Structure 1
Amino acid sequence: MNRDKAVVVFSGGQDSTTCLFWAKQRYKEVIAISFDYNQKHKLELECAKDICKKHGIEHHILDLNLLNQLAPNSLTRVDIEVDKEAPKDRLPNSFVDGRNMLFLTFAAVFAKQRGINQIITGVSQSDYSGYPDCRDVFIKSLNVTLNLAMDYQFEIHTPLMWINKEETWKMAYDLGVLDIIKNETLTCYNGIKGDGCGECPACKLRNKGYQDFEKKYLK
Structure 2
Amino acid sequence: MNNTKAVVVFSGGQDSTTCLFWAMERFDEVETVTFDYGQRHKLEVEVAAAIAGELNVKHHVLDMSLLGQLAPNALTRNDIAIEQREGSLPTTFVDGRNLLFLSFAAIAAKQIGAKHIVTGVCETDFSGYPDCRDVFVKSLNVTLNLAMDYPFVIDTPLMWLNKAETWELADRLGAFDFVRNRTLTCYNGIVADGCGECPACRLRRKGLDDYSALSGREACSP
TM-score, normalised relative to structure 1: 0.97
Report how far residue 10 of structure 1 moved: 0.2
Aligned residue pairs: how many? 216
Separation in 1 of the partners of 2:117 and 2:189?
27
Distance in 2, matches of 1:114 and 1:46, equals 23
Q: Structure 2 CA distance, aligned partners of 1:48 and 1:69?
A: 22
CA contact (8 A) 1:196 1:203 kept: yes
Cα distance in 2 for partners of 1:79, 1:64 equals: 21
Contact between 2:4 and 2:115, CA under 8 Å: does it hold in 1?
no
| Contact kept? 2:8, 2:31, Cα under 8 Å | yes
Structure 1 residue 87: deviation in Å? 2.2
Gaps of 5+ in 2: 218-222
- 1:52 aligns with 52
Identity of aligned residues (%): 62
What code does the residue aligned with 1:131 have? Answer: Y
Partner of 1:74: 74
SS of corresponding position for 1:28: strand
Aligned to 2:138: 140
Letter in 2 for 1:138: F
- Structure 2 letter corresponding to 1:28: D
Which residue of structure 1 aligns with residue 188 of structure 2?
190
Shift >2 Å, 4+ stretches: none
Does the 8 A contact of 1:3 with 1:117 survive in 2? no
In 1, Cα distance between the equivalents of 2:7 and 2:67? 21
Contact 1:38/1:68, CA 8 A, preserved across alignment: yes
Task: Give the secondary-structure state (helix, strand or coil) at the position aligned to 2:49.
Answer: helix
CA deviations on 1:87-123 (whole Å, 9 max, x unpaired) are 2110000000000000000000001111111110000
* Residue of structure 2 equivalent to 1:213: 211
Look up the equivalent residue of 1:185 and give its one-letter code.
T
Query: Corresponding residue for 1:34?
Result: 34
Report the residue type matching 1:55 in the other structure.
L
Task: Kindly report the root-mean-square deviation, in angstroms, between the aligned alpha carbons of the 2 structures.
Answer: 1.0
1:111-167 CA-to-partner distances (Å, cap 9, x unmatched) read 111111111000000011100000000000000000111111100000000000000
**1 or 2 for the larger relative contact order (CA 8 Å, sep ≥6)?**
1
Deviations 1:27-62 (A, max 9, x none): 010000000001011111111111111110000000
* Partners of 1:87 and 1:30 in 2: CA distance: 39
Indicate the SS of the match to 1:5.
strand
- SS of the equivalent of 2:62 reads strand
List alignment gaps of at least 5 residues for structure 1. Answer: none
Instruction: Give the Cα separation in 2 of the matches to 1:53 and 1:117.
Output: 23
User: Does structure 2 retain, via aligned residues, the 8 Å contact 1:3–1:118?
Assistant: no
Structure 1 Cα separation of the partners of residues 144 and 4 of structure 2: 20
Q: How does 1:98-113 map to 2 (within 5 A)?
A: 98-113=96-111
